[in-house]
Amino acid sequence: MADIFYLSHIRFGWGALAELGPALSGLGVVRPLVVTDAGIRAAGILDRVLGAGAAAAPVFDATPTNPTEAAVEAALALYRAEGCDGLVAVGGGSPVDLAKGVALLAAHPGQLAGYAAILGGVPRITASTAPVVAVPTTAGTGSEVGRAALITLEDGRKLGFISPHLIPKAAICDPELTLGLPPLLTAATGMDAVTHCVETYLSPRYNPPAEAIALDGLARAVAAIERAVADGRDRTARQEMLMAALQGGLTFQKGLGAVHALSHPLGGLKEPSLHHGTLNAVLLPAVLRYNEPAAAEKYGTLRRVLGLPGDASLPNHFQALSTRLGLPSGLRAMGVPEACLADIARQATLDHSAATNPRPASEAEFLALLREAMGT
Ligand SMILES: [Zn+2]
């Protein structure tokens, strides 16, 4: 049976931020908690968002690079102390995922771990989850329309919390908010969007609408990413990247693959703290090399979408793209220590994204992928 699920209300376009107030009142949210990070505040984006319909709202701006259980608890305490009845998440994937964690615990008893997907938590997440309005400021995560939150627990595991009830009730996608994103973050978050489109397309689940969205998103992203990195004020490129990221998020329901099964535990490392999109860009070539025997026909479609000749190597194509974008050449260059690889490989086999990789991977195969992605 195919499980096809589209319910997001998305306001997309230049100036869409003005829709924040109406979106909140439409949801009956009177006192939202705004969840963001220090960088968004420093960039002046937080003030613009507050001015667009959340003027008196309390703000939690201590979202870490990778959201943690401790940060969810801290934001939840503020949510309760301020008598909030909903959330506005402003930023990249981390504030959005953190807001989802708060929305969950605001209406469900117990600790986060009880709701993790791999621990059987999916059916425990109910419609009582507090409403979230997501305002993305990067073009990559897709979390603004996704049903998952990735949060690192106190014990170090980075786990997925997955439910249709975690999908933000509204997404306000205004490309204006992405114009100031620096080149390297534009590249790294953009490669997250690219990876979402590639991995969900290759997922073996039957969901033709999601595949069509993934291929369209991929075409937009590869056409725009280098322009957005070279000139952040290129409005067409920014709009295309934000749409590609949104489309990547709309296809999550089809399931991701080995790139994300590996980047989730790597993103859970305390030291070094690793950027999700950068990890995906670095892991993608090795995973594409591994998956090719299991998805030859789909690789042909991907080549056509990318405008590549029939004998072109997809892994080499994406490797070259990453290099042109100025992203690191491998995990070693990102500071990943050799000593953690065996544990990351073990955790990857347990990650919810492993199940939808087109070619099943054992712990030893995940370890080989990590070794290949270490680079020189
Ligand atoms: Zn991702």
pLDDT tens for residues 170-228?
A: 999 999 999 999 999 999 999 999 999 999 999 999 999 999 999 999 999 999 999 99
C-alpha count within 13 angstroms, C-beta hemisphere, residue 30: 2
The domain tally of the chain equals 2
CB 151 within 8 A of CB 98: yes
Cα(196) to centroid(ligand 1), Å:
6
Q: What is the pLDDT of residues 65-110, one digit of tens each?
A: 889 999 999 999 999 999 999 999 999 999 999 999 999 999 999 9
Q: Indicate whether 3 belongs to any domain.
A: no
Cα(263) to centroid(ligand 1), Å:
8
Domain that holds residue 81: 9-177
Cα(244) to centroid(ligand 1), Å:
13
Q: How much is the pLDDT for 376?
A: 78
pLDDT of residue 257 exceeding 90, the answer is: yes
Give me the DSSP letters along 133-155. EEEESSSS--GGG-SEEEEE-TT
CB 35 within 8 A of CB 63: yes
Cα(31) to centroid(ligand 1), Å:
30
Cα(142) to centroid(ligand 1), Å:
8
Cα(5) to centroid(ligand 1), Å:
19
Q: How much is the pLDDT for 156?
A: 87
127, 233: one domain? no
Cα(103) to centroid(ligand 1), Å:
21
Cα(25) to centroid(ligand 1), Å:
31
172, 188: one domain? no
Q: Indicate whether 4 belongs to any domain.
A: no
Q: Indicate whether 93 belongs to any domain.
A: yes
166, 190: one domain? no
Ranking 27-36, 152-161, 213-222 by mean pLDDT, the lowest is 152-161
Model's pTM, two decimal places?
Answer: 0.94
Cα(56) to centroid(ligand 1), Å:
32
Residue that is last in its domain, among 147, 177, 207 = 177
> CA 228, CA 223: separation in Å to the nearest integer?
10
Q: What is the pLDDT of residues 299-346, one digit of tens each?
A: 999 999 999 999 999 999 999 999 999 999 999 999 999 999 999 999
43, 108: one domain? yes
Task: Look up the CATH number of the domain holding residue 206.
Answer: 1.20.1090.10
Cα(150) to centroid(ligand 1), Å:
10
User: Pairing between strand 132-136 and 170-173?
Assistant: parallel
59, 43: one domain? yes
Q: Indicate whether 1 belongs to any domain.
A: no
Cα(249) to centroid(ligand 1), Å:
9
Residue that is last in its domain, among 177, 208, 236 = 177
Task: Look up the CATH number of the domain holding residue 19.
Answer: 3.40.50.1970
Give the CA angle between residues 292, 350, 185 to the nearest 5°.
65
312, 225: one domain? yes
154, 187: one domain? no
40, 169: one domain? yes
Cα(141) to centroid(ligand 1), Å:
6
- Quick one: which of 31, 49, 27 has its CA closest to 40? 49
Cα(277) to centroid(ligand 1), Å:
6
Residue that is last in its domain, among 177, 196, 216 = 177
Q: Indicate whether 2 belongs to any domain.
A: no
Q: How much is the pLDDT for 158?
A: 85
306, 190: one domain? yes
Cα(193) to centroid(ligand 1), Å:
7
